[in-house]
Structure 1
């Protein structure tokens, strides 16, 4: 079985529980990967047979220890490459995901570790996602999704989803970049303040930003 196919499944399962606690369902996984549910069910059964995931029929999917270690390794590659492209080549944070998807399977371990050293062993990528260390460990702090934050909450932007480049560009224009302090003026109306400036938020944007608690 081609490694990139397996890695894409494991990454998607890993991503799903990074910023919330519910395990991914086969239907959700099929949607993320853009595949037919029947194809995903078949592949999940193969991954379970390899000891990479735990899954019972009609139940959510979780990674085994071995599956989590493999997912963390490929995610480490992806996020180091994204950081490298932004810092060394002037890419913007909305441009790096697709490039990293290609390069993560092409770079040698030696080159990847050289990139890590050159960057000073970064702990977070440009979007605020934690970069697993060589042993698969990550550093996280308590967080709340902006869409769930109550009126009056103030927190730093910890992470911005890289799923939609258009949303990323809009958030950058509004000043909602990683590290920015955000005050929730009206949760119901999706209004926030950044550096004392009122910023209206769409539902898509509010669901793409995580704040410190």
Structure 2
């Protein structure tokens, strides 16, 4: 799906995703000292806005200008820098203490490019957090993309970073109970369990 298709999708709904931050992003970032943060492939910026309200200096990057405009409207006075760019090829102008890559579901080659962009944007000692629909969700979970080519595991993320130096805090499959009621087609059935991959690394 290209940027124009995503622009159309974002324009056709009030909010495609929840206004609340992803639960794993909120949980994993809760113990981090506030600094500079990058939300890569931010969509409407729910995680970026939450981070900004916790005191982070946040940059949100997405290739849909419609999504970014909606995010800026929702953010209000929350200080987020909105950048229109492709997560697979963007070149940051600074280093970040935290990079979040949440639910960017791409085929392997594009995914690896985005994962490396995100990791390489980190300052030494910075945290890289990846959350995505896990490959096992297709047969064992609920909701999420139905194309196995865009699903992946924590081990796939680590493989994408081959040759780079980091320490692993978390690299596993995690359960997420679906709340239901979302407008997007990946919402799943309320009360059912979805399976995500969760990776948290510290760059050396």
Bin the TM-score by the shorter chain: under 0.3
Q: Which has the larger radius of gyration?
A: 1
Q: Which has the higher strand share?
A: 2
Which structure has the higher relative contact order (CA within 8 Å, separation 6+)? 2
Superposition TM-score, scaled by structure 1 size: 0.25
TM-score by length of 2: 0.26
Structure with a larger share of its residues in helix: 1
